[in-house]
């Protein structure tokens, strides 16, 4: 049996994250942006909750495509300024 960090709690979702993503270097800008955003969402939430909501977060952030997120933010700012 493999030893895991305590935070994995024998949970398949956390174990998969531990094995495939945690502590790995990320050279892809889109994946790095996703990791940074997920870290921000983790503030005040458990990491398990963030991972469970990951698909919804991806949809809300246009699958972390930087250009789309940037354009979306400009649209939101313009709408706010027009108020």
| Catalytic residue list | 17, 39, 47
DSSP secondary structure of 2-65:
----GGGTT-HHHHHHHHHTTT-----HHHHHHHHHHHHHHTTS-HHHHHHTHHHHHHHTGGG-
- Tokens for 62? 């246009």
């Amino acid at each position: 049996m493999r030893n895991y960090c305590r935070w994995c709690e024998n949970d398949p979702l956390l174990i998969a994250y531990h094995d495939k993503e945690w502590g790995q270097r990320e050279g892809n800008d889109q994946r790095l942006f996703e990791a940074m955003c997920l870290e921000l969402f983790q503030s005040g939430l458990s990491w398990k909750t963030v991972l469970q909501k990951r698909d919804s977060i991806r949809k809300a952030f246009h699958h972390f495509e930087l250009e789309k997120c940037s354009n979306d933010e400009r649209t939101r700012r313009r709408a706010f300024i027009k108020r």
